Amino acid sequence: MSREISYGAAIREATDQLMSESDRVYVIGLGTTDPKSIFGTTAGLHVKYGPKRVLDMPTSENAMTGICIGTALMGMRPIMVHQRIDFLLLALDQIVNNAAKWYSMFNGQQSVPLVIRAIVGRGWGQGPQHSQNLQAMFAHVPGLKVVTPAIPADAKGMLIAAAHDNDPVLFIEHRWLHNTFGPVPEEMYETPLGMANVVREGYDVSIVATSFMVIEALRAAEALARHGIEAEVVDVRSIRPLDVDGIIASVRKTGRLVACDAAWKTLGFAGEIIALAAELALENLRARPVRVTLPDWHTAASPVAAEMYYPTAVTIANEVAALFGKPQRSAQEWKLVRKAPADQPDLSFIGPF
Amino acid sequence: MRCPVHLSIGQEAIAVGVSAALERRDFVLSTHRAHAHYLAKGGDMRRFIAELYGRATGCCGGHGGSMHLIDLSANMLGSTPIVGNIVPVATGVAFATWLDGRDEITVVYLGDGATEEGAFVESINFAALKALPIVYVVENNFFSVYSPLSVRQPPARDVVGIAASHGIAGARGDGNDVEEVYRLATIAATHARSGAGPYVLEFETYRWREHCGPAYDNELGYRSIAEFESWRARDPIAAMERRLSQTSTIEPKSREDMARECAAEVDDAFAFALASPFPTGQSFGDAYSSVTAGR
């Protein structure tokens, strides 16, 4: 496990291994074969596997999704890629009415083994229509599976598990994770869908987080530990199917819950986690549960707006501190000052998208 | 029967003529008005009627209803009622056969309303791009529910012309003349199977009954009695019977036998459906094919 590669490279490696394993797997999406190759995640694959296995496509998200469904019904295993989840809204009919329902509506006669990779994001002036986090909307629909891996090893293992799964899986990548590094085994392996992962053990509070918010939660937990609070960080990994037992076990253990999602608050995923805690572990809750989410308004492009808009490790740390009656602190006081501004994943990222 | 049925009555010739031009191994997908398409392709009648009654023996086990007809043994791959949304799926079926170099062709039925959906133009664009072996059969019955063509399309709009502007071959014909449908569908199927790419057929026809349900609804005033009667005079089945009686060597006696056999098959299907059990509770609630952890 000593080799470290990026989240983006892990996705590319998983795709390569899947395509090598089965000639039923093909990759399709706008830009898969272009010079930028979906932030490098499909780089070189069209050369290795040829133009019938890695395809660029017309700017027709809806029909192309239906076309992928049609090939899946015929036994192929498409991996469709969208550079922004916002474009996936054009394909809602095919995803919600066909992909999600085909298996049950036709009484299990056929399934739709389709993986849709969609990139969500934050900052760098992407604005209202290029950085939404729409995972809860999709996860609301029975028949769809929705995963949000946060670390490179899970990105690889969950993409492989998603491609082996016989149901449609929406595989959500946060753009800010693509250039994060971590240990990733070289061989092919599955990280099972539907299993959360306790990435930091603690006993005072459960911070349940998805996608990029896992990174913020881990930073918050380190800062909290310096002030005597041991937070448990649960990386949800898969929001549908959801590891309800695993999440509730952590809540029962700590008695406090902070649910973090890089998406809107109202009717969102963080609220779902709190509803589950209220239904299943109310007697264990020693404090009011808390949601850390985006505010209910649209991402403005200005870097100044980013500072106001995005919850960070500081937001999480202060919410936890409030549960313990401890004072609110600044980023400096928490020692959580980021080197990069709020609209930039790290200083090496200088755009353009 | 507690299920919205979109009857094919008046539009039978298109399904029959097209299916006669296909091989059993060819694939068919369809719309909410799929009854004729399903039966003409060889879909099981008992399982069809049982599905309308929501029975466990239905083609979807009672999970789909009249708008979701499927019989995989006849390569009738399914039907859906969201206007235009089966068109990309069918194009994908054709894409899969193209990717694998197989020689089946795919036929997708759609209505005049579906040609107004972006999914239609997106699909034929891709089919033309890859020269896919698919035939798009447009059944133009002049109405989308109760909205006539005149409130939906400019008079000069021409579906075959739209196809032609994508480089797609096409033809238009009388959808109530089963022999003409068969002739044109044979040309289209041969074209698609030869690797020459997609084909678009547009047939004019007419829906006799209400959009959804078994009754006549001319009293609503959305179409004139004169218009309805002019189409009823062009009943495709009566026209075929007249033609056969003039030209065929089939004895009147054997025609009566055929009619009796058909009626008996229909009666049997209804009896089968009504005698069939409803699905059990255990068959509901399963939205996923692959079992995973979590819920």
CA dist A189 → A94, A155, A158, A160, A162 (Å):
30, 11, 9, 7, 11
Q: Which CATH class is domain A197-334?
A: alpha beta
Residue B168 has a pLDDT of 98
User: Which residue is listed with tokens 């002030």?
Assistant: A227
- The whole-angstrom separation of Cα A208 and Cα A275 is 13
Interface predicted TM-score (ipTM) of this complex, two decimals:
0.96
Which residue does chain A place closest to B59, by CA atoms?
Answer: A106
Using a CB-CB distance cutoff of 8 angstroms, which residues of chain A are in contact with residue B43? none
| Average pLDDT, integer, range A217-233 | 98
| Average pLDDT, integer, range B91-109 | 98
User: Which residue is listed with tokens 């290795």?
Assistant: A48
In this structure, whether the domain defined by B12-280 belongs to CATH 3.40.50.970 is answered with yes
Residue A38 has a pLDDT of 93
Say yes or no to pLDDT of B148 above 90.
Answer: yes
Cα angle A135, A315, A275; round to 5: 50
pLDDT band at residue A347 using 50, 70 and 90 as cut-offs: confident
CA dist A149 → A13, A146, A156, A272 (Å):
15, 10, 9, 19
The domain segmentation of chain A, as residue ranges, is: 6-183, 197-334
Cβ proximity of A76 and A24 under 8 Å? yes
Secondary structure (DSSP) of A221-266: HHHHHTTT--EEEEE--EEETT-HHHHHHHHHHHS-EEEEEEEEST
CB atoms closer than 10 angstroms to residue A47: 10
Say yes or no to pLDDT of A2 above 80.
Answer: no
Cβ proximity of A209 and A238 under 8 Å? no
The distance from CA A62 to its chain's CA centroid, rounded to whole angstroms, is 22
CB pair distance less than 8 Å for A195 and B293: yes
CB pair distance less than 8 Å for B85 and A98: yes
Residue A343 has a pLDDT of 84
CB pair distance less than 8 Å for B290 and A57: no
CB atoms closer than 10 angstroms to residue A287: 16
Residue B286 has a pLDDT of 86
Residue B61 has a pLDDT of 96
Print burial letters for B128-159: b (CB count within 10 Å at least 16), e (below 16): bebebbbbbbbbbbbbbeeeebeeebeeeeeb
Render pLDDT for A108-160 as a digit per residue (tens, 0 to 9).
999 999 999 999 988 887 888 988 999 999 999 999 999 999 999 999 999 99
Three-class secondary structure of residue B179 per DSSP? helix
Chain B positions touching chain A (beta carbons under 8 Å): 60-64, 68, 70, 72, 77-78, 80, 82, 85, 87-97, 99, 118-119, 122-123, 125-126, 129, 283, 286-290, 292-295
Question: Between these two residues, B284 and A81, which has the higher pLDDT value?
Answer: A81
Residue A341 has a pLDDT of 84
Say yes or no to pLDDT of B17 above 70.
Answer: yes
- The whole-angstrom separation of Cα B6 and Cα B66 is 8
How far away is chain B from the Cα of A268, in angstroms, using its nearest Cα? 17
Cβ proximity of A138 and A170 under 8 Å? yes
Cβ proximity of B84 and B117 under 8 Å? yes
For chain A, what percent of residues have pLDDT higher than 70?
100
Using a CB-CB distance cutoff of 8 angstroms, which residues of chain A are in contact with residue B80? 97-98
Q: Which positions of A are annotated as active-site residues?
A: 61, 130
| Average pLDDT, integer, range A261-267 | 95
pLDDT band at residue A4 using 50, 70 and 90 as cut-offs: very high
| Most A-contacting residue of B80, B278, B289, B295 (CB-CB within 10 A), to test interface | B289
| Average pLDDT, integer, range A197-214 | 98
Secondary structure (DSSP) of A137-184: HHHTSTT-EEE---SHHHHHHHHHHHHHSSS-EEEEEEGGGTT-EEE-
**Architecture label for domain A6-183:** 3-Layer(aba) Sandwich (3.40)
How far away is chain A from the Cα of B70, in angstroms, using its nearest Cα? 7
HSE-CB of A201 using CA atoms within 13 angstroms: 0
Which residue does chain A place closest to B78, by CA atoms?
Answer: A106
pLDDT averaged over every residue in chain B: 96
Say yes or no to pLDDT of B131 above 90.
Answer: yes
Q: Where are the alpha helices (DSSP H) in B41-177?
A: 45-52, 86-99, 118-130, 159-164
How far away is chain A from the Cα of B290, in angstroms, using its nearest Cα? 5
The domain segmentation of chain B, as residue ranges, is: 12-280
